[in-house]
Chain A
Amino acid sequence: MLILGLESSCDETAAAVVAGDRRVLSHKLAGQEADHAPFGGVVPEIAARAHGEQLPGLVRGALAEAGVTLADVDAVAATAGPGLIGGVMVGLVTAKALALSAGKPLITVNHLEGHAYSPRLVEPGLAFPYLLLLVSGGHCQLLEVRGVGRFRRLATTIDDAVGEAFDKTAKILGLGFPGGPAVERAAATGDPFAVPLPRPLLGTQEPHFSFAGLKSAVLRARDAGTHSVPDIAASFQQAAVECLVDRTERALARAVDVTALVVAGGVAANRRVRSALEAVATARAVPFVAPPGWLCTDNAAMIAWAGVERLREGLTDSLDAPARARWPLDPDAEPARGAGVKA
């Protein structure tokens, strides 16, 4: 089985060809960092314009690099949400046109579902159900992944996503955009216990995450002027990791039948996050799976792989499938406290 996957939901444009036996035949990606850098964040209209310019070339490149034509693939998969809707439309409509012209099925993929199955692309033994910590630029959730298209959301953030907290911390400390890797780099030479920072919701009964207070404390620490940038970065990272660990431990203790603890999404590329979560899994004697860094941040291989998972279940979509700005993995989840939560 061969799937062509497209991704365009935020600020990476990507196309990839992935085989059912887990070979990534090609993976093409174009970032937009330079386009958005002057604004200190992703500008939706600029992102949508860039996706439209980049995608046709990336699709051609991904097919050529894989040594296949569209006639050889079994389906075309694309992110249909959630994300910045202008970009999502570009990828989804391109995929629809590719599917129509080649007479292949269309598979619409929830971007978060792409992150959620990405560990199965690299870990053949990883079976459902598993406990997933999904940590990205827009999301911070604990989910039970029970099967293809079957998610139970155990926890979510009541304010900022953890990737957002990394990005805002980077901005506050003048480390540039995108912030996650920059904070990790700066933290490497800092003292993680030099600056006393809060750990919101640590140890509380409710299952959720919160990072807004941590971000505000970083701002105050900077303004106080008594700490070095590496020390603030390291202390922020330490606090964020402790919050993730605490909430994950709580969920893992309650999730009786899971086969593994899995982390995915852009923040899963962070080495401190990975090693701390691995320790949580080891203490509970469950396997730990984290995809390689390139598969944690946005990419099209994970979308193509989600296409593999869905096509195996016979899940294809019609050409009038909608693009969706919001699309929770578990629509039945009780709303977390706090308004304006993203999913």
Chain B
Amino acid sequence: MLLVISSATEAVSLALLDLSDAVLAERHELIGRGHAERLVQMIAEMLRASGERPTAILADCGPGSFTGIRVGLAAANGLSIGWGVPVSGVSALALLAAGAPAGRDAAEVAVAMVGGHGELFVQSFARMPFRALDEPRSLPPEMAVALPQPLVVGNAAEQLVAARGFGEALPAHPRAADARLLPPAFRALPVRPLYVRAPDAKPGRVA
């Protein structure tokens, strides 16, 4: 029984997969802010309704909102300690690429997510077989337009397609249940945030 947790964007997305990756339960809510308040409560509700206790955890490591990533990983680590079960990581970009509808006859897909300071998190994937074509990057929009794949998925897909002037945008947030579509290697990342962007080093209290 695998619990999948994704909270790296405005969405909180949860799924419970059985050993053959069938979806036993799912929650997907666009909550905007308030992940620290909602996430664990939503996990508790889903588990109570399904009556299951996970034997492994898969957590979305980002990229995305720094806060959302940390909240998701904190929840995954806490549950892992309490249940005594293993936890591994998955990338938000891979989840989005995997979730792009298979019906589109595009061999490749670009993922574009809202980043910080007006930048976009981007990465390109081949679909059959599924593999990454480059590394996750944080790019200003004027550089992201160089992505060649017509098909773009993610919460910045429309922005990128509009800026670029061609292609098809599939607006989406990472969906936990789409982890079932990923090859095993993509579900075995170390449980470490994929921030992709350095911290803003503005000192706090002591100026």
Segment at the interface with A among B63-71, B102-110, B131-139, B144-152 = B63-71
Interface flag for B153 (CB, 8 Å): no
Question: How many A-B contacts if CB must be within 8 Å?
Answer: 132
Interface flag for B79 (CB, 8 Å): yes
5 contacts between A and B (CB under 8 A): A49-B193, A52-B74, A70-B82, A93-B74, A97-B79
- Point out residues on B near A: beta carbons under 8 Å: 35-41, 43-44, 66-67, 70-71, 73-83, 192-193, 195, 199-207
Interface flag for A48 (CB, 8 Å): yes
Interface flag for A42 (CB, 8 Å): yes
Q: Which of B39, B66, B80, B206 contacts A42 (CB 8 A)?
A: B206
A95 in contact with B78 (CB, 8 Å): yes
A97 in contact with B205 (CB, 8 Å): no
Q: Mark A306-328, 1 if CB is under 8 A from B, else 0.
A: 00000000000011111100000
A319 in contact with B40 (CB, 8 Å): yes
Interface flag for A132 (CB, 8 Å): no
Cα distance, A177 to B203, chains bound together (Å): 13
Chain A, Cβ-Cβ closest to B82? A101
Known contacts A41-B204, A41-B206, A60-B81, A93 near B199 by CB under 8 Å: no
Cα distance, A93 to B67, chains bound together (Å): 11
Cα distance, A92 to B74, chains bound together (Å): 9
Q: Mark A75-115, 1 if CB is under 8 A from B, else 0.
A: 00000000010100111111111111110000000000000
Known contacts A55-B74, A323-B37, A100 near B81 by CB under 8 Å: no
Interface flag for A190 (CB, 8 Å): no
B40 in contact with A171 (CB, 8 Å): no
B199 in contact with A46 (CB, 8 Å): yes
Interface flag for A137 (CB, 8 Å): yes
Known contacts A49-B193, A70-B81, A320 near B37 by CB under 8 Å: yes
A100 in contact with B79 (CB, 8 Å): yes
A195-217 residues with Cβ-Cβ distance < 8 A to B are none
Cα distance, A44 to B195, chains bound together (Å): 15
A96 in contact with B195 (CB, 8 Å): no
Chain B, Cβ-Cβ closest to A168? B206
Q: For B38, B70, B78, B82, which residue has the most chain A Cβ atoms within 10 angstroms?
A: B78
Looking at the assembled complex, report how far the CB atom of A322 sits from the nearest CB atom of chain B, in whole angstroms: 5
Interface flag for A164 (CB, 8 Å): yes
Q: A100-B40, A100-B78 are in contact. List 6 more A-B contacts (CB 8 A).
A: A45-B201, A48-B70, A70-B82, A93-B75, A98-B79, A100-B44
B206 in contact with A323 (CB, 8 Å): no
Q: For B71, B82, B201, which residue has the most chain A Cβ atoms within 10 angstroms?
A: B82
Looking at the assembled complex, report how far the CB atom of B29 sits from the nearest CB atom of chain A, in whole angstroms: 13
Bin the interface of chain A by size: 35 or more
Interface flag for A302 (CB, 8 Å): no
B77 in contact with A56 (CB, 8 Å): yes
B206 in contact with A94 (CB, 8 Å): no
B206 in contact with A97 (CB, 8 Å): no
Interface flag for A246 (CB, 8 Å): no
Which 3 interchain pairs have the tightest Cβ spacing? A101-B82, A97-B78, A41-B206
Chain B, Cβ-Cβ closest to A171? B206
Cα distance, A42 to B201, chains bound together (Å): 9
Q: For B66, B67, B74, which residue has the most chain A Cβ atoms within 10 angstroms?
A: B74
Q: Which residues of B are found within 8 Å of A167, using beta-carbon distances?
A: 206
Cα distance, A51 to B38, chains bound together (Å): 20
B40 in contact with A96 (CB, 8 Å): yes
Chain A, Cβ-Cβ closest to B34? A322
B195 in contact with A101 (CB, 8 Å): no
Cα distance, A258 to B74, chains bound together (Å): 41
Looking at the assembled complex, report how far the CB atom of B187 sits from the nearest CB atom of chain A, in whole angstroms: 20
Looking at the assembled complex, report how far the CB atom of A50 sits from the nearest CB atom of chain B, in whole angstroms: 10
Cα distance, A128 to B36, chains bound together (Å): 34
Interface flag for A148 (CB, 8 Å): no
Chain B, Cβ-Cβ closest to A95? B78
B205 in contact with A41 (CB, 8 Å): yes
Interface flag for A59 (CB, 8 Å): yes
Interface flag for A294 (CB, 8 Å): no
A287-343 residues with Cβ-Cβ distance < 8 A to B are 318-323
Known contacts A86-B67, A320-B37, A322-B36, A93 near B78 by CB under 8 Å: yes
Interface flag for A276 (CB, 8 Å): no
Q: Which residues of B are found within 8 Å of A319, using beta-carbon distances?
A: 40-41, 44
Chain A, Cβ-Cβ closest to B192? A53
Interface flag for A265 (CB, 8 Å): no
Cα distance, A55 to B76, chains bound together (Å): 12
Looking at the assembled complex, report how far the CB atom of B34 sits from the nearest CB atom of chain A, in whole angstroms: 8
